[in-house]
Amino acid sequence: MGSRKTSWAEPFKIKMVEPIKMTTREQRERCIKEAGYNTFLLKSEDVYIDLLTDSGTAAMSDRQWAAMMLGDEAYAGSRNFYSLEEVVREYYGYKHLIPTHQGRGAENILSQCMIKKGDFVPGNMYFTTTRIHQEIAGGEFIDVIIDEAHDPSHEHPFKGNVDLQKMEDLIKKVGASRIPYVSLETNVNMAGGQPVSMQNIKDLYHLCKKHNIPVMLDATRAAENAFFIKEREKGYENKSVKEILREICSYTDGCTMSGKKDCLVNIGGFLAVNDDQLCLKAQNLVVVYEGLHTYGGMAGRDMEAMAQGIRESVEDDHQAARIGQVRYLGQKIKDAGVPIVLPIGSHAVFLDAKKFLPHLDQDEFPAQALAAELYVDSGVRAMERGNVSAGRDPKTGKNRRPKLELVRLTLPRRVYTQAHMDVVSESVIELYEHRKDIRGLAFDYEPENLRFFQARFKKK
Ligand code: F0G
């Protein structure tokens, strides 16, 4: 057992493999040009190591594949719905389950049910799809994360925390009646995969209760957040990820979930709530946008695989290996002096593109340019999380120029090996040595909504 104490070795062995192929630099130069220097527009076949996202990219276990065979594809009342409902009640603790095709489906329903025109929706940093649904429903997103979260080098252990003073100030300014709920994200994606502490969740919940404001959790990476609480928060060292996850949810009134992350499935999501009236309203909308309330856009087999994925996601060993691999990659890159977001988060290593490419203005999209160059160098696909993702301010029409201008090297769960991580770090380090040669980008085509997905660029 001695070696298990420090090793994060994976608690699984590999039963099936999927071949990947290395391309030549000339091929990759052509591919990225054809993709308008946007890694979202590359064909996956032309990618060697795909670190675009941890969303829907996990390897399922043999037990999950076996669960797929138990699919009951009835239009109404599939047994897999009841099985998922039971698991969500046991592991997350919410009373009602409304399945959706993925996270943004749940965000749409929640936003439509709760937000009125002119409302304010506070949250601990925006997420792209979450904010756009809040805006479409007539709300305005207000960032109430602690200031440290916007500083890539600040090593606060719970950089995802809500600033309770900012919350109180907002309540004072606009009144609780114009705040339909607080959107609380665990392991804040845009901040670099940074956790929220249990104390902060508890304090937020009590503050909100006083003003009758519900707390809605974005539980997409809540199990990963639970692991950080176990490691870093006093009093939780001997609790399991499973117990901690349940406690997190107990200080919230419901959640939206992208099952494509923590839950270890390739597609699916849900909305879960405790309030009976809200559940009825959501069930009434889910039939408009997603499907009947007992499948909500998911196949029966996918609901069963998700139920099994949830059971696996709270295993302490699973999270230790998951987060251990991210840290292995991050540490190698950091040790070479490359600027990254600290502390290293749960699902990705984030390169600080502002510090990496100080010769570029933020409107030349340094993170977008760096992600394109990384692909050309080694066939590794990453994602921009900076000025392109942040979009334009609807009031001024200007680029939002967020403080964080990042390239995200996102690790799919249970997919790549330590040797793959070595390839990635070598390529990043080599690019850093040649960083002065990297040029900026300008828009060739800029879509109106969530522009980062489909935008095209040209080299400056
Ligand atoms: N909330 C968070 C925190 C997310 O990271 C995502 C998706 C969603 C909601 C939306 O869920 O994709 O299932 O509709 N994040 C992916 C990513 C796309 O790459 O970070 P979805």
Are 261 and 369 part of one and the same domain? no
| pLDDT tens digits, 161-182 | 999 999 999 999 999 999 999 9
Q: Specify the residue for token string 């009093």.
A: 235
Residue 2 covered by a domain: no
Q: Specify the residue for token string 């977008």.
A: 368
Name the residue of 108, 261, 326 whose CB sits within 8 Å of the most ligand 1 atoms, as the mutation to test its pocket: 261
- Ligand 1, residue 269: give the atom nearest the CA: 13
* Long-range contacts of 291-296, Cβ-Cβ distance < 8 Å, separation of 24 or more: 291/101, 292/75, 292/76, 293/98, 293/99, 294/76, 294/77, 294/78, 294/81, 294/99, 295/75, 295/78, 295/81, 295/99, 296/98, 296/99, 296/100, 296/101, 296/105, 296/270
Q: List all residues 6 or more positions away from 124 whose beta carbon is below 8 Å from its beta carbon.
A: 143, 144, 145, 149, 160, 161, 162, 183, 184, 185, 188, 191, 196
Residue located nearest, by CA, to atom 13 of ligand 1: 103
Q: Is 452 a catalytic residue?
A: yes
CA 286 to CA 173: how far, in whole Å? Answer: 34
- Residue 7 has a pLDDT of 87
For 188-221, b/e burial (b = at least 16 CB within 10 A) is bbbbbbbbbbbebbebbbebbeeeebbbbbbbbb
Q: Is 268 in the pocket of ligand 1 (CB under 6 A)?
A: no
Q: Is 102 in the pocket of ligand 1 (CB under 6 A)?
A: yes
Edge-to-edge order in the sheet of strand 140-143: 96-100, 269-273, 254-258, 215-218, 182-185, 120-123, 140-143
- Residue 50 has a pLDDT of 98
The alpha carbon of 132 and the centre of ligand 1 are apart by a number of angstroms equal to 12
Residue located nearest, by CA, to atom 16 of ligand 1: 55
Residue 7 covered by a domain: no
Q: Which of 128, 130, 294, 410 is catalytic?
A: 128
Q: Is 225 in the pocket of ligand 1 (CB under 6 A)?
A: no
Residue located nearest, by CA, to atom 12 of ligand 1: 103
Average pLDDT, the chain: 97
Average pLDDT over residues 342-367: 98
Residue 4 covered by a domain: no
Residue 9 covered by a domain: no
Q: Is 40 a catalytic residue?
A: no
Residue located nearest, by CA, to atom 15 of ligand 1: 55
Are 158 and 174 part of one and the same domain? yes
The alpha carbon of 375 and the centre of ligand 1 are apart by a number of angstroms equal to 22
- Ligand 1, residue 258: give the atom nearest the CA: 13
- Ligand 1, residue 259: give the atom nearest the CA: 13
Average pLDDT over residues 241-256: 98
φ, ψ of residue 50 in degrees (nearest 5): -100, 100
- Residue 1 has a pLDDT of 43
| pLDDT tens digits, 412-438 | 999 999 999 999 999 999 999 999 999
Q: Which of 54, 119, 218, 262 is catalytic?
A: 218
CA 429 to CA 377: how far, in whole Å? Answer: 11
Name the residue of 53, 102, 189 whose CB sits within 8 Å of the most ligand 1 atoms, as the mutation to test its pocket: 189
Are 400 and 425 part of one and the same domain? yes
Q: Is 127 a catalytic residue?
A: yes
User: Is the pLDDT confidence value at 2 over 50?
Assistant: no
Average pLDDT over residues 18-23: 96
- From 255, 289, 313, the end of a domain falls on 313
CA 312 to CA 22: how far, in whole Å? Answer: 32
Are 274 and 342 part of one and the same domain? no
Q: How far is CA 342 from CA 118, 155, 189, 339, 349, in A?
A: 36, 6, 13, 9, 9
Decide: helix, strand or coil at residue 445.
strand
Structural domains counted in the chain:
2
Q: Is 133 in the pocket of ligand 1 (CB under 6 A)?
A: no
Are 244 and 106 part of one and the same domain? yes
Are 235 and 335 part of one and the same domain? no
| pLDDT tens digits, 37-72 | 999 999 999 999 999 999 999 999 999 999 999 999
- From 296, 313, 330, the end of a domain falls on 313
Q: Note whether 329 and 411 are within 8 A (CB).
A: yes
Q: Which of 301, 385, 408, 451 is catalytic?
A: 385
- Residue 6 has a pLDDT of 76
Q: List all residues 6 or more positions away from 95 whose beta carbon is below 8 Å from its beta carbon.
A: 89, 272, 273, 274, 276, 279
| pLDDT tens digits, 93-149 | 999 999 999 999 999 999 999 999 999 999 999 999 999 999 999 999 999 999 999
CA 442 to CA 458: how far, in whole Å? Answer: 5
Name the residue of 54, 186, 218, 220 whose CB sits within 8 Å of the most ligand 1 atoms, as the mutation to test its pocket: 220
Give the pLDDT band of residue 4 (cuts 50, 70, 90): low
Residue 11 covered by a domain: no
Are 260 and 280 part of one and the same domain? yes
CA 109 to CA 100: how far, in whole Å? Answer: 9
Residue located nearest, by CA, to atom 19 of ligand 1: 53
Q: Is 128 a catalytic residue?
A: yes
Q: ∠247-280-299 over CA atoms, to 5°?
A: 80
User: Is the pLDDT confidence value at 394 over 90?
Assistant: no
Q: Which of 227, 350, 452, 457 is catalytic?
A: 452
Residue 321 belongs to a domain with what CATH number?
A: 3.90.1150.10
HSE-CB for 332 with a 13 A CA cutoff: 18
Are 165 and 100 part of one and the same domain? yes
Are 389 and 294 part of one and the same domain? no
Quick one: 19 exposed, middle or buried, by C-beta within 10 A (0-12, 13-18, 19+)? exposed
Residue 70 covered by a domain: yes
- From 290, 313, 336, the end of a domain falls on 313
Residue 18 covered by a domain: no
pTM metric for this prediction: 0.96
Are 242 and 259 part of one and the same domain? yes
Are 119 and 214 part of one and the same domain? yes
Task: Give the max Cα distance, the chain.
Answer: 61
Q: Is 189 in the pocket of ligand 1 (CB under 6 A)?
A: yes
Q: Take residue 210 and report the two structure tokens written for it.
A: 């006083």
> How distant is the alpha carbon of residue 356 from its chain centre?
23
Give the pLDDT band of residue 5 (cuts 50, 70, 90): low
- Residue 89 has a pLDDT of 98
Residue 261 belongs to a domain with what CATH number?
A: 3.40.640.10
CA 256 to CA 92: how far, in whole Å? Answer: 11
Residue 280 covered by a domain: yes
> How distant is the alpha carbon of residue 11 from its chain centre?
23
- Ligand 1, residue 260: give the atom nearest the CA: 13
- Ligand 1, residue 53: give the atom nearest the CA: 19
CA 68 to CA 370: how far, in whole Å? Answer: 39
The alpha carbon of 189 and the centre of ligand 1 are apart by a number of angstroms equal to 8
Q: Count how many residues are written for the chain.
A: 460
Domain housing 396: 25-54+316-459
Q: Note whether 273 and 95 are within 8 A (CB).
A: yes
Are 71 and 123 part of one and the same domain? yes
- Residue 393 has a pLDDT of 92
